[in-house]
Amino acid sequence: MVNKKVISVILAAGKGTRMKSSLPKVLHTIFNKPLLGYVLEAVNSTGYVSDNFVIVGHEAQKVEEFVRNNYSFVKCILQMPQRGTGDAVNRAVPFLKNFDGYVIVVCGDTPLITGETLKSFIEYHENSNADLTVMSAIFDNPQNYGRIIRDENNKFIAIVEEKDATDEQKAVKEVNAGLYCISWKSVNEAFACLKNNNAQGEYYLTDIVKWAVLKGLNVQSYVLNDNSEIFGINSKQNLAQAFKIMNKKSLERLMSEGVQITDADSVYISPETTIGADTIVLPNVYISGKNEIGKNCKIGPFAHIRDGAVIGNNVRIGNFVEIKKSVIKDNTNVSHLSYIGDSELGSHVNIGAGTITANYNPITKVKSKTIIKDGANTGSNSVLVAPVTINEMASIGAGSVITKDVEEYALAVTRSPVKIISNWVKRKIEQYVGGNK
């Protein structure tokens, strides 16, 4: 617990030039979720944060729209033009008048930061009675980061950006992770005092350290355990690296919870997916978004679960099966070559190879539901045109296109009757090849 109110300021106005993209950097995705989404969720999972401000600038409209649609409790503040990280936080100052709690500043491009780390960071700040705490990390080869500068008594006195650093300062291995916890009442005046007389001509947020030290305030650093948590995204290469790190952590968590993953090098599972013990995930499986998968299931090889799947126990999702926004109850099999989207499958349902739920009308853009109740089965190559309900124990004949609800225990079949034409092949051979065969 902390005794004061906490407000977050998330920096997301920068251009992200090195992404070489028309999309703002913080809207690039990992497992289908924008980087900014990970940061906002980590910040709010601490349970301490009462209000959130996101500083937007480059492509502000797109970022604001994402925030409005997904995190309506968050307020965006425009920073135009973008004149540095200090100027970015300065935009929030008018919204924080008379605030007497802690402001945490987090970058929107560090999707691997966890709520646990932020929580203990805020607690550390309070417990050490600090006015300002900077998160730091120790790197063997700390390129591009600001360096934590200490005096002869080891007291933290400043942060120097690499571009402004002397060779001696560049040799420092403790760096600024870019996260700050600020006792707002004692430090807020610093923002009006920032100057841009530095190598980049920017207003550096990091200069609040010098200001606080000069005022005789209590300035602390909190050393991060796991450096990967502050891995920042600046390029498409970084995005791929972050994906790998996130995936590895996710698989390790699942295995520690009893999930069997045959080949951790070819399986990708989002951190928001939960899976019950003794479920086996076979090679080449990709699971993104938020999903719940039960116990004793068998997933893959080559399965794709996209988002919003709620899967029970003893379920089989086989090869070349895609599942999206669907509920699948216990003991049901979708074993081969199927698309199940916007559907509800009961228990003991058997989905034949190549069954497709046709859930989307490209003209109306409406997505409709397919409901398949307990014990029903579909023959191979069936198309279920939603909205449609297949009731308990009903059976769909192979190759059917189902456009009406099917009553319980009924067979529905739309296949044209088989026609057998004797000696048809023989006649064709005689006609085209000349009767010798």
Q: Which of 294, 301, 333, 331 is nearest to 319 (CA)?
A: 301
If binding means CB under 5 A, how many residues of this protein chain bind Ca ion?
Answer: 1
Q: Does 121 bind ligand UD1 (CB under 6 A)?
A: no
Nearer residue to ligand UD1 within complex by CB, 9 or 334? 9
The amino acid sitting at 347 is S
- Pick from 34, 37, 101, 178 the residue near ligand UD1 by CB under 6 A: 178
Residues, the chain, total? 437
Residues 314-353 vs Ca ion: string with x where CB under 5 A? ----------------------------------------
Nearer residue to ligand UD1 within complex by CB, 133 or 326? 133
Whether residue 34 has a cis bond before it, omega within 30° of 0:
no
Catalytic, 58? Answer: no
Find the helix or strand (DSSP H, E) in which 66 lies: helix 60-70
Tokens at residue 168, please? 């001696």
Whole-angstrom Cα distance, residue 427 to residue 312? 55
CB of 27 to ligand UD1, least distance (A): 12
- Pick from 49, 60, 63, 107 the residue near ligand UD1 by CB under 6 A: 107
CB of 110 to Ca ion, least distance (A): 8
Nearer residue to ligand UD1 within complex by CB, 145 or 156? 145
* Contact window for ligand UD1 (CB under 6 A) among 107-115, 150-158, 215-223, 287-295: 107-115
Do residues 103 and 7 touch, judged by C-beta distance below 8 A? yes
- Residue of 28, 58, 304, 336 with catalytic role: 336
Query: What is the C-alpha R_g of the chain?
Result: 29
Tokens at residue 299, please? 């997933």
Nearer residue to ligand UD1 within complex by CB, 13 or 317? 13
Do residues 28 and 38 touch, judged by C-beta distance below 8 A? no
Q: Which of 40, 41, 44, 35 is nearest to 14 (CA)?
A: 35
Do residues 373 and 352 touch, judged by C-beta distance below 8 A? no
Whole-angstrom Cα distance, residue 353 to residue 361? 23
Tokens at residue 385, please? 């045109």
Whole-angstrom Cα distance, residue 387 to residue 404? 8
- Pick from 204, 211, 222, 286 the residue near ligand UD1 by CB under 6 A: 204
Nearer residue to Ca ion within complex by CB, 232 or 379? 232
Q: Which of 114, 366, 116, 387 is nearest to 228 (CA)?
A: 114
- Pick from 88, 149, 259, 287 the residue near ligand UD1 by CB under 6 A: 88
- Pick from 232, 276, 294, 312 the residue near Ca ion by CB under 5 A: 232
Site for ligand UD1 in 44-83 (CB under 6 A): 55, 57, 79, 82-83
* Contact window for ligand UD1 (CB under 6 A) among 31-39, 84-92, 324-332, 426-434: 84-92
Instruction: Give the phi and the psi of residue 279 in degrees, each rounded to 5.
Output: -75, 140
Residues 151-170 vs ligand UD1: string with x where CB under 6 A? --------x-x---------
Nearer residue to ligand UD1 within complex by CB, 172 or 390? 172
What separation, in Å, do the N-terminal and C-terminal C-alpha atoms of the chain show? 88
Binding site for Ca ion (CB under 5 A): 232
Binding site for ligand UD1 (CB under 6 A): 11-14, 55, 57, 79, 82-85, 87-88, 107-109, 145-146, 159, 161, 175-178, 204-206, 232
Positions annotated as catalytic residues are 336
